[in-house]
Amino acid sequence: DIVMTQSPDSLAVSLGERATINCKSSQSVFHNSYSKSCLAWYQQKPGQPPKLLIYWASTRESGVPDRFSGSGSGTDFTLTISSLQAEDVAVYYCHQYYNYPRTFGQGTKLEI
């Protein structure tokens, strides 16, 4: 199984400042056929399902504010929130869909 490890486990950032969350996979999730990394980021608020933010490591889902961006390839990935807003308080998960079983990171709790 591909193990997804996020860092840090929790993060406190001031409003308007940058937040950076890292995700490392135990093996490469780069898909040669697609020439893309099979890595997604989700945001989960209490009592809600996860919400898709980023897929293919760096493609922003429609409707997601452009302060959210994803980067990285292979085994190392980053989710960046350029200017933190109050509504961004949540737990963030990375997710690999390169092979089975699909696996998720342990989550990063983002606070103000």
Partner 1 sequence: QVQLVQSGAEVKKPGASVKVSCKASGYTFSNYVIHWVRQAPGQRPEWMGWIHAGNGVIQHSQEFQDRVTFTTDSSATTVYMELSSLRSEDTAVFYCARDPPGSGYYDYWGQGTLVTVSS
Residues within the interface to partner 1 (CB under 8 A): 38, 40, 42, 48-52, 55-56, 61, 93, 95, 97-98, 100-107
Residue 81 or 103 with smaller CB distance to partner 1: 103
What are the C-alpha distances in Å from 2 to residues 30, 39, 63, 83?
Answer: 12, 12, 30, 31
* Residue 23, both tokens: 């995700």
Residue 25 or 103 with smaller CB distance to partner 1: 103
Least separation in angstroms between CB 15 and partner 1: 26
Q: Using CB atoms within 10 A of its CB, is residue 93 exposed (0-12), middle (13-18) or buried (19+)?
A: buried
Least separation in angstroms between CB 38 and partner 1: 6
Q: Alpha helices of 20-70 — where are they, by DSSP H?
A: none
Strand partners, 5: 24
Least separation in angstroms between CB 104 and partner 1: 5
Residue 1 or 17 with smaller CB distance to partner 1: 1
Residue indicated by tokens 């990171």: 105
Residue 88 or 107 with smaller CB distance to partner 1: 107
